[in-house]
């Protein structure tokens, strides 16, 4: 086997090896220029030209890869001038990242002799295999087309580019899945548009039946399953979405896109599989730490699971990513208060928000505004009793703790299906738990408030039929 002119120990190779072995994605397409000089004392030496990352293009086949090297990257003269250190050298070296193999396809083209040699490098350090360009062509062509898709939408050429690829290579599942991914990205509010594309490859798929979707679990390329899972989630098919996304297993990572973890977290959360949701959002946050939504969703899971002190660090990361307390409170008001959450989870959220986000809550959900909003939702004739009960709670525990109690009671939303038979004393116990957690978070003693809690709980119990 011939050895590359650029020794595998060189830094340009080593950088990519480091990324490969850490299961990270190297830049998909890189070109470099090399010259050879001969010194009487040291013999042949490799002289380094420039190194350039090639954006916005990726070869769809082995032949296209070699054509890029031979035709100076298909660059126009004015573009080529910017890459003189790469193009005006004897040797063109190129790396193409093949994610499914976790290997680099590395080419050296000698302009002086017209000889090109290609190696597969990796996945491990020091692993290198010279290609038989004829015998290996079919497998490599498939790997290049797969890499074009998996390396990201920047290489697809958008909607029209995908149509052209399908015209060239047929309705391969990876290309149809790329169309689905593109439609979900650019037409997020029209999931049935993506469904129509998916039905080109999977005609049995429907937008309101689980069976056909579940039949695809564990079949086909993991990246394809991720895109189908994301589509199912947007169509409201939460169970198939969770199964499809989870079936991708370890492949749900950098090659499938961090958003796959985010969508898996959403599906698990909707199915009330909170530990699995927390794990998925944790993986997403590790890949996208600058996205405040990662920390917001993770915060919600941790609070509902009762990890209140870990939640403080999650809040810090949310703020560091640019997340605003006001947005967090808005989400709390729109989702958590109105959802049919189990009472213990509702108590945890109420206690933590009223202990940690008081200024933002005062602006968005002040006690007076909250009472006015809730009054309109109580049965006619009960408003006066409700205001009196709130006033008693304020006297007993103070305005912030009183708001905690109101947030802990199912006044905004109905009861969780598992607690549909809960009576007023049960609701009062949940409010007392919220009050106790709130005091613990503030390192303050809990004040007794049994009577006013039971009064408010009785009103909540009477009004819950409005939400059945």
What CATH number is given to the structural domain containing 204? 1.25.40
Contact 370, 406 (CB under 8 A): yes
103 and 175 housed in the same domain: no
Mean pLDDT of the chain: 90
**300 in any annotated domain:** no
358 and 437 housed in the same domain: yes
Q: What is the pLDDT of residues 92-135, one digit of tens each?
A: 999 999 998 999 999 999 999 999 999 999 999 889 999 887 77
261 and 388 housed in the same domain: no
Q: What pLDDT, on a 0 to 100 scale, did the predictor assign at position 162?
A: 96
Residue range(s) defining the domain that contains residue 384 = 337-467
Q: How confident is the model at residue 335 (pLDDT cuts 50, 70, 90)?
A: confident
Q: How confident is the model at residue 468 (pLDDT cuts 50, 70, 90)?
A: very low
148 and 191 housed in the same domain: no
d(CA 178, CA 194): 10
26 and 147 housed in the same domain: yes
25 and 113 housed in the same domain: yes
120 and 167 housed in the same domain: no
117 and 230 housed in the same domain: no
Residue in 276, 423, 413 with CA at minimum distance from that of residue 346 = 413
16 and 148 housed in the same domain: yes
What are the backbone angles phi and psi of residue 123, rounded to the nearest 5°? -75, -25
The burial of 322, by beta-carbon neighbours within 10 Å (0-12 exposed, 13-18 middle, 19 or more buried), is given as exposed
Q: How confident is the model at residue 466 (pLDDT cuts 50, 70, 90)?
A: very low
> Which residues, 6 or more positions from 167, have their beta carbon under 8 angstroms from its beta carbon?
none
Assess whether pLDDT exceeds 80 at residue 88.
Answer: yes
- How far separated are the first and last CA of the chain, in Å rounded? 74
d(CA 81, CA 101): 34
**310 in any annotated domain:** no
This prediction's pTM: 0.88
Q: How confident is the model at residue 405 (pLDDT cuts 50, 70, 90)?
A: very high
**250 in any annotated domain:** yes
- H helix or E strand, kind and range, residue 336: none
Range list of H helices, 55-157: 62-70, 77-81, 84-87, 137-150
d(CA 185, CA 163): 16
Which of 71-85, 225-239, 295-309 has the least mean pLDDT? 71-85
Assess whether pLDDT exceeds 90 at residue 285.
Answer: yes
180 and 160 housed in the same domain: yes
CA distances from 396 to 188, 391, 393, 401, 434 (A): 49, 9, 5, 9, 15
Q: How confident is the model at residue 420 (pLDDT cuts 50, 70, 90)?
A: confident
**308 in any annotated domain:** no
Q: What pLDDT, on a 0 to 100 scale, did the predictor assign at position 188?
A: 93
Number of domains in the chain: 3
**113 in any annotated domain:** yes
């Amino acid at each position: 086997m011939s050895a590359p002119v650029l020794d595998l120990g060189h830094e340009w190779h080593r950088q990519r090896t480091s990324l490969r072995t850490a299961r990270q994605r190297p830049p998909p397409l890189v070109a470099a220029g090399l010259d050879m000089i001969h010194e009487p004392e040291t013999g042949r030496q490799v002289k380094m030209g420039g190194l350039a990352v090639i954006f916005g293009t990726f070869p769809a086949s082995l032949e296209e890869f070699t054509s890029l090297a031979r035709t100076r990257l298909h660059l126009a003269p004015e573009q080529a001038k910017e890459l003189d250190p790469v193009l005006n050298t004897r040797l063109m070296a190129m790396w193409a990242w093949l994610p499914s193999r976790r290997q680099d396809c590395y080419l050296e083209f000698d302009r002086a002799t017209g000889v090109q040699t290609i190696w597969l490098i990796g996945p491990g350090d020091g692993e290198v295999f010279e290609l038989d360009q004829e015998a290996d062509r079919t497998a490599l062509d498939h790997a290049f087309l797969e890499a074009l898709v998996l390396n990201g939408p920047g290489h697809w050429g958008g909607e029209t580019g995908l149509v052209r690829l399908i015209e060239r290579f047929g309705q391969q599942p990876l290309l149809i899945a790329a169309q689905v991914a593109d439609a979900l990205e650019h037409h997020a509010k029209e999931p049935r548009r993506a469904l129509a594309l998916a039905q080109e490859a999977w005609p049995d798929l429907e937008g309101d039946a689980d069976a056909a979707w579940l039949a695809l679990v564990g079949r086909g390329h993991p990246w394809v399953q991720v895109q189908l899972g994301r589509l199912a989630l947007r169509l409201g098919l939460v169970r198939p979405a969770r199964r499809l996304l989870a079936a991708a297993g370890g492949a749900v990572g950098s090659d499938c896109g961090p958003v796959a973890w985010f969508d898996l977290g959403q599906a698990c959360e909707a199915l009330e599989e909170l530990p699995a949701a927390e794990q998925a959002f944790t993986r997403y946050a590790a890949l996208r730490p600058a996205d405040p939504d990662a920390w917001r969703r993770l915060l919600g899971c941790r609070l509902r699971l009762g990890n209140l002190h870990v939640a403080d660090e999650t809040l810090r990361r949310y703020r560091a990513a640019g997340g605003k307390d006001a947005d967090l409170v808005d989400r709390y008001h729109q989702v958590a208060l109105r959802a049919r959450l189990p009472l213990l989870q509702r108590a945890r959220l109420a206690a933590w928000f009223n202990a940690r986000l008081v200024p933002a809550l005062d602006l968005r959900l002040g006690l007076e505004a909250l009472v006015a909003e809730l009054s309109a939702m109580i049965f006619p004739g009960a408003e006066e009793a409700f205001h009196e009960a709130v006033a008693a709670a304020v006297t007993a525990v103070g305005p912030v703790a009183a708001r905690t109690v109101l947030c802990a009671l199912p006044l905004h939303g109905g009861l969780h299906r598992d607690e549909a038979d809960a009576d007023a004393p049960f609701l009062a116990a949940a409010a007392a738990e919220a009050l106790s957690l709130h005091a613990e978070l503030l390192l303050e003693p809990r004040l007794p408030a049994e009577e006013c809690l039971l009064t408010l709980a009785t009103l909540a119990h009477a009004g819950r039929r409005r939400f059945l």
